[in-house]
Structure 1
């Protein structure tokens, strides 16, 4: 049964819309994106700390699409008149859902919010879920970008990571994506894996480059709380090896036409992930689905962060609210929140963007900027906010300067 938005309770967070000192109105609203969370996977990986859950033999596709659209209906009053510049299906493994289900969802979204003419729509997928016919159908829906979770091409490494695919399936997935009509796709690849040598890591990277993706997310495995690896840590490479892998890999990517534009993101010219760029430039996004987060600006200067009910069974329960909470971002947290995102970009951002996104004068950063510049963490460029090479390496230290 379709769940009407008006039948679901709505919970406002404790911070709500509480009063504080007056805020400066925003001259413009940031670009708007939509994040859609599909929380099910074939199997939970031991390193994964995302909100993902092992799928049952039959997924509640229709019930979940009903809930997503009802969830979106409750967010609509905050975005009337705006258009969507990007959509991202994340998970979990969104490619477990059928093309029919995702098509119904996309039609429902477009009926509610206008799509930009050049909208970017990305779907996360794993090689173990690739079917040529299914992915051709995804492309016909208007999904125009894939992000494929490879992680490694080597059997021993894939087994250690708990992945359900093998190296050959990973290679075939890229070819099938292209055959399905995707001329823009990302490959996710990890390094610093258990017992991984520099040669192992560069072999994976060379194989990924040979598949000619337009974008590569290449990042180091980290042990996160509330994961199997956190409780049963594997033997990871020593710091010297990790450093050598990072330097050699970045050189290899650069030599093959992949420019680093963010801490772990590399792209061919003009192929940066627009959805992620919107996050990193402190843009706005609606988050729907179990555990999804959102961030919305309002003309009066308020910026509200929201988060949705985390467990799928609760999210699908009509007696429970979609929204688990919300927070009005305090003025004194704005600099840190903005720069935590913007300084991940290797070229930083135009300094004037700070005022456009937060309503605060860039002059309010002057003291902290000077301290960071003197420590060699921030470039001495009055027109931009950009970390130095050292600042990129010690980003947490850099950000501490902007905690007010």
Structure 2
């Protein structure tokens, strides 16, 4: 029965957001304890070039675990998470154990409906120009405060325009830098067919950017040095940000793996609370991972009373329902125990061996446009 419940919860969990939609998680049932599963990470689905500490990936795992907890609430369960390693390591061969997840009786009422997990979207579409209601922004700030984070926001159009420009500047700067371009490019899906086949990554159709433009960014970046081309493509990109009337930034403890995981739990609740009130979110992660952009953001939003560094910048608002990003089927996320293998409780986290997953980078055929 517990295995059936776990599969039900994981069907919700697989819709949790992850950086570049990499979906770095895998799961393994504990044959000795049906109440528990092992959470693993796939080193090939990390992004060490742009996020060498793994901080944002571990935020993603925190979001996943909070998502599973919310999904378990109607069943009367909560999820106990026991992390087995602190640091994600992209150099490791094959899937690596990260945490032990156990179903436990729920003691606290869950206010978020798990349907919100399925309704949640990242929206890179234009918004409708309506600022996010002040009462909701205060509620989001209260959630952040529960985790010792500070959620700040602005509906001032000058601030909104500044953030949109900073994000665009950073995105184009990153695409000129080889490491960032190659890493992000390996997760770009230029056609709908490619996105559906891979079931992961950044799909052009979901980002409202023509696939040919994304392909040129990765494989022929020099073309943007031609007079007029950069200006035209930037205009196309910034047009997807039209109607933005609210921006927000978050600061809080963000120095250790434990900090990152807790930040993920908080982000899950903030994001789903937005979803509850019909608000969409578009995180500007590149501003955080780009050193120069992060420094510029820190200076612009300087606040002497702020206790911790900024680690998140976003736009949020109302608009059309965005297309749903692809997700890997659950069966591809579950590692089955081989019948001949027996797992001793004391060695549970050291017995798994698996063939490495298929390499993610796709050399796109220009002829398919």
TM-score normalized by structure 2? 0.28
Structure with the bigger percentage of strand:
1
Structure with the bigger percentage of helix:
2
